[in-house]
Chains A and B, each alone.
Chain A
């Protein structure tokens, strides 16, 4: 979110910005979500913890363990005005910097690397033992709140090595 603010400053007040360092930035031109996804995220911004947990699980999948999910939800609740969150959804998810992107200035972006193989391999192993309908990833935000995110999250957790012997799938 503040990535967009920092990039905007660097472009509009270049004489005062020496360099920009970005940590896990979103795309400068926004995520490009469609209208339905944008509307759903707006609802979530003003929603309760349950809605927010489902949205985070949908967006981040099994990259966010249960403890981190609880931590992020608590931080969200304690620090953020829902109207600000909703406005930033529009900023980061849809608008971004628009046509202004492209000015030249020193910048560094630190991004994380997903452990695709480890995380998704566990999920796939379990999902391979299920029906095709259970394997299908929710394709639209309309599926949030049904079995999608929670279903996938439970799969990943239950397939963790320490719990694999008790995996119910």
Chain B
């Protein structure tokens, strides 16, 4: 899993990606995102984009969900999640 952060805002948004793609799909939208209110975490799931070399990945939903949780930090804060198919 690879995470790319954008912004310094206190509210956190996790942005996932489409099937057969990675989070570079969101590149055209990035200049328009509110980076003062939100911190955006663009997460490439294992097997895709910057995380294409998944290593010993099992590619299960539990594994992916654990990766996304880890990407949000360990302080337990709430985060909205934005996902694509």
The dominant DSSP class at the A interface is helix
With both chains docked as a complex, state the minimum distance between the C-beta of A87 and any C-beta of chain B, in angstroms.
Answer: 3
Given contacts A9-B65, A17-B81, A80-B52, contact A1 B19 (CB under 8 A): yes
Residues of chain B lying within 8 A (CB to CB) of residue A48: none
Count of residues in B whose CB is under 8 Å from the partner chain: 38
Distance between Cα atoms of A72 and B16 in the complex (Å): 17
Distance between Cα atoms of A164 and B39 in the complex (Å): 50
Residue A18 interfacial (CB < 8 Å): yes
Residue B80 interfacial (CB < 8 Å): yes
Residue A140 interfacial (CB < 8 Å): no
Residues of chain B lying within 8 A (CB to CB) of residue A76: 20-21
Residue B64 interfacial (CB < 8 Å): yes
With both chains docked as a complex, state the minimum distance between the C-beta of A100 and any C-beta of chain B, in angstroms.
Answer: 10
Residues of chain B lying within 8 A (CB to CB) of residue A84: 45-48, 52, 54, 57, 59
Decide: B20 and A5 in contact? CB cutoff 8 A: no
Closest to A11 in B: B65
Residues of chain A lying within 8 A (CB to CB) of residue B22: 79-80
Within residues 3 to 29 of chain A, which ones have a CB less than 8 A from any CB in chain B? 3-6, 8-10, 12-13, 15-26
Residues of chain B lying within 8 A (CB to CB) of residue A1: 18-19, 45, 85
With both chains docked as a complex, state the minimum distance between the C-beta of B59 and any C-beta of chain A, in angstroms.
Answer: 3
Residues of chain B lying within 8 A (CB to CB) of residue A87: 47, 58-60
The dominant DSSP class at the B interface is loop
Closest to B82 in A: A21
Distance between Cα atoms of A27 and B54 in the complex (Å): 26
Decide: B68 and A20 in contact? CB cutoff 8 A: no
Please pick, from B16, B54, B77, B80, the residue contacting A5 in the complex, using a CB distance under 8 A: B16
Distance between Cα atoms of A5 and B59 in the complex (Å): 11
Decide: B20 and A10 in contact? CB cutoff 8 A: no
Residue A53 interfacial (CB < 8 Å): no
Residue A134 interfacial (CB < 8 Å): no
Residue A117 interfacial (CB < 8 Å): no
B interface residues with partner A (beta carbon < 8 Å): 16-22, 24-25, 45-49, 52-54, 57-62, 64-65, 68-69, 72, 76-85
